[in-house]
Structure 1
Amino acid sequence: MPIPVNNFQERSFDVQELITRMPSWMVRSGTIVIAALISIIIFGSWIVKYPDVVSGTFKLSGTNVPKGVFTKTDGKLIRLFVKNDSKVSNGQVLAYLESTANHKQVLDLDTLLGEMYKTIANGGQGGIKAPDWKNFEQLGELQMDVQTFGQSLVEFISYQQGNYYAQKKRILQTEIQDLQLLAENLKSQQQFQDRDRQLAMEEYATQQKLAAQRVIAPNELKQAESRKLSRLLPSEQSKAFIIQNNSLREEKKKELLELDNQALQHRASFVQRVNTLRSAINNWKNRHLIIAPLDGVVYFSTVVQENQYLAARQQVFNIAPPSNGYLGELHLSQQNFGKVKIGQEVIIKFASYPFEQFGHVSGKITDIAEMPVNDSLFLVRVSLPNGLTTVYNNRISYKAGLSASAEIITEDMRLLERIFYNMRKSVATR
């Protein structure tokens, strides 16, 4: 029996309504789930944050960095006085290179010359004595210089022991003192004579008045004039004696100055001889001794052992000062440069030391240049708080100018902020 059309349409509408109408509980649950997922995403985007990385090129430098110790001449290393990774002091002898001279004798002579120089500088040249030259018979290439110095030393000691300078100076000083006393005596005599002359002048003036009044005879006036003239002569003679005494005293002072100058020249000549020999010894030491140039810890640059041949200008040791100051220069482009701040961490990966094997070195930004070094690059100074020790506890050998790639860890930024900035950037670029 066929179904009526009207009934079929009514049933179709009922089915359609049943199919299209979603239950209210599903609508509510779905909305809650979607809202929860969106909230979780937003919350996660707010919680999750990580920094940007600004990259640049790094070049190593430093202050108070390890210094290399090199040979000045070629030759065999005959004595080694230090071990690897041991402390040394400035001026310490690290090794002997072969020489025709006995190293100990040369060093002993150098010490003796230093003591002589100090003695002369302190004015105690009278205490200088000739050494026992039997202890200095193996001086090799320095022998001629030592012989020349020995002759000067004998002359200087003879001059000092002869006491000529001291005696002559004492005599001159005594003569000057005597002349000074004589000058004072002559001055006192002149004062008396001047007074006597003044009295004679007054007497003669009185006699002139009396003679003009015809109270005395002309002969008495002549006698008064004779007495006046006799008083003038001693006074003039005293003046001449005083002038002569002053001249003689100045002459003695001149002799004393010349004597002092002669002694100074003699002393200076001997000091020059001392310095000449010390200079020759220093030249010898530069060639045949390896000496520490500073305090620190010595490291062998290569295999070092006695009887080993070393070439001229060969690096033998490195000496690290007690406090090393390593730093570097980082060149950054203008891209993201505004994110860089003082105090931020820098990850330094040296090209010569693969970071996968050796690890990276940590640094801190200490200074940012206000002006670019050229049109596009800015200079950033980086300190290395842990020196050249990597995070894997490997030590990188210092080489000035060693290059590396650097990554600056900037401030953390939330993921939500990044999404927002990217959306704003996309809108702005449309």
Structure 2
Amino acid sequence: MSNSNPLFRPEVTAALGSQWMGSIRLAQPASASLIAIVAMLIAAALIAYITFGSITKKARVTGITVPVGGQLSVAAPNAGILLNTHVKEGELVKAGQVLFTISTERQNSQGEITALVAQQLATRADSLAAEQRLRQTQYQEKKLALSQRLANLEQEYSQLEQELALSLRRQQLAQQSVSKFETLQGNGYVSAAQTQQKQEDLIDISTRLSTLQRNKTQLQANKIALQDELNTLANTLATDLTQIDRAKASLKQEVAENANRQSSQITAPQAGTVTALTNQNGQAINAGQVLASLIPSDTKGNVDKSKDDQTSAQTAGLLEVHLYVPSRTAGFIQPGQQVLIRYAAFPYQKFGLHTATVTDVSRTPFAPSELPPHLASTILSNAQQAINGFNSNEALYRVRVKLDEQSIQAYGQPQAIKPGMTLEADVLQDSRKIWEWVLEPVLAMTQHA
């Protein structure tokens, strides 16, 4: 083969000449393979999370703990000075037990007005008592006089009947005499003048008999009139005594009202635990001012005041949570949904979340003015802090929540939940797969197509 026509191209010869130190190999470290494997595992985990994972929609709301049976406010019926507080914070009381004594005394130039009025009322009471005794004495005297007159009439009536009997007998005899004289006159034994005399005697006896019968009728009428007068006298006395009793009852009412103006006692409307005592003895009290709150309980009979606070809380009744939510949140809240609670007094970072269950949702919202007076400011303030875009004039729906536990484990000891504790809660609502949330717009379009 000639030199002009080499067997290999010059480029091949040049390439072979440059590799005299060996072929080029690219090194791949083990870290690159590890990174690729980890990336594949992360991608697989992300795909599995999107496929099988789910997200639960939560409604964040605020609320407060309240007794299941409600909470009563004990208010002052009128203005005055708080003289004495007969109970202590957390004490169990019975229905009708005296809680507070309020002084309502008023002074003028002559002294304390209530005392002066009490003196006048006492004078009126004495006057009514004297009048009652006088009416009863007058009734006894009149009754005695009428009874004596009636007895005299009875005796006179008896004598008159005897006279009538004798007059009738005399009339019969005179009639027989007239008949005999008329027979004798017809036979010529007596004169006509003698017969006429006997007839005149018969007329006199008949006239006397008629007079006696008229007197008997008058006596009967007098007896009836006296008996009616006796009955009327008894009815008049009963009427007078009734009026006096009515006046005495009205006077007793005035006495009680006057005593109440001097000092009044406020009693417990029912058995329960007294809380929220904020006023001190000697402090001025306005009419309608709340002096304490009463948590009703089912405890009956005597109350053992030596029990500890935990036992008192248990006997005072269970607690529940009232959540107040705006309309944009209340639409999907339903009974039976789970609730996760974070108490302000027990930070969830340290004491965790606490479970509960929705039991009821109000059908109509509560205006801010319709919220419980002693809780309204707290509820609205918490709602403004926890709910974005909340308007303090917005109406709120009330959601009642049943607590799974009535106490919290804090540092190994159970701490009882107390009424009035503020809290935040997450109401667990709709739960969906992650891919459903991602593809929700596409699925919505498919359903509408």
TM-score, length basis structure 2: 0.49
What is the match of residue 115 of structure 2? 143
**Alpha-carbon spacing, 1:230–1:292, altered in 2? closer, same or farther (3 Å):** same
Write the distance in 1 (CA, Å) between the matches of 2:400 and 2:425: 13
Q: In 2, are the aligned partners of 1:50 and 1:413 still within 8 Å (CA)?
A: yes
Q: In 1, are the aligned partners of 2:71 and 2:293 still within 8 Å (CA)?
A: no
What is the match of residue 170 of structure 1? 140
For residues 9-408 of structure 1, what are the structure 2 equivalents within 5 Å? 64-70=70-76, 72-73=78-79, 75=81, 79-89=84-94, 90-94=96-100, 140-156=112-128, 164-177=134-147, 219=196, 220-286=198-264, 292=268, 294-302=270-278, 304-306=279-281, 309-310=283-284, 312=286, 315-322=290-297, 340=334, 344-345=336-337, 347=339, 356=348, 362=356, 364-366=358-360, 383-385=400-402, 393-397=416-420
**Alpha-carbon spacing, 1:318–1:222, altered in 2? closer, same or farther (3 Å):** same
- Quote how far apart the aligned CAs of 1:363 are: 5.2
For 2:140, the aligned partner's letter is R
**Alpha-carbon spacing, 1:153–1:337, altered in 2? closer, same or farther (3 Å):** closer
Write the distance in 2 (CA, Å) between the matches of 1:204 and 1:50: 135
- Quote how far apart the aligned CAs of 1:67 are: 0.8
Which stretches in structure 2 are left out of the alignment for 5+ residues?
1-43, 299-316, 367-395, 410-415
CA deviation digits over 1:261-305, x for unaligned, max 9?
A: 44444444444333323212212224xx66555542222343x55
Write the distance in 1 (CA, Å) between the matches of 2:333 and 2:119: 73
**Alpha-carbon spacing, 1:98–1:223, altered in 2? closer, same or farther (3 Å):** closer
**Alpha-carbon spacing, 1:146–1:203, altered in 2? closer, same or farther (3 Å):** same
Write the distance in 1 (CA, Å) between the matches of 2:162 and 2:74: 85
For 2:118, the aligned partner's letter is V
Q: In 2, are the aligned partners of 1:349 and 1:360 still within 8 Å (CA)?
A: yes
SS state at 2:88 partner: coil
Structure 1 vs Structure 2: percent identity of aligned residues?
11
Write the distance in 2 (CA, Å) between the matches of 1:333 and 1:257: 71
SS state at 1:145 partner: helix
Structure label with greater radius of gyration: 2
**Alpha-carbon spacing, 1:168–1:193, altered in 2? closer, same or farther (3 Å):** same
What is the match of residue 13 of structure 1? none
Q: In 2, are the aligned partners of 1:190 and 1:239 still within 8 Å (CA)?
A: no
SS state at 1:280 partner: helix
Q: What is the Cα-based RMSD across aligned positions, in Å?
A: 6.1
Write the distance in 2 (CA, Å) between the matches of 1:66 and 1:181: 70
CA deviation digits over 1:128-152, x for unaligned, max 9?
A: xxxxxxxxxxx94422123223333
SS state at 1:347 partner: strand
SS state at 2:297 partner: coil
Which stretches in structure 1 are left out of the alignment for 5+ residues?
1-36, 102-138, 374-378
Write the distance in 2 (CA, Å) between the matches of 1:255 and 1:215: 65
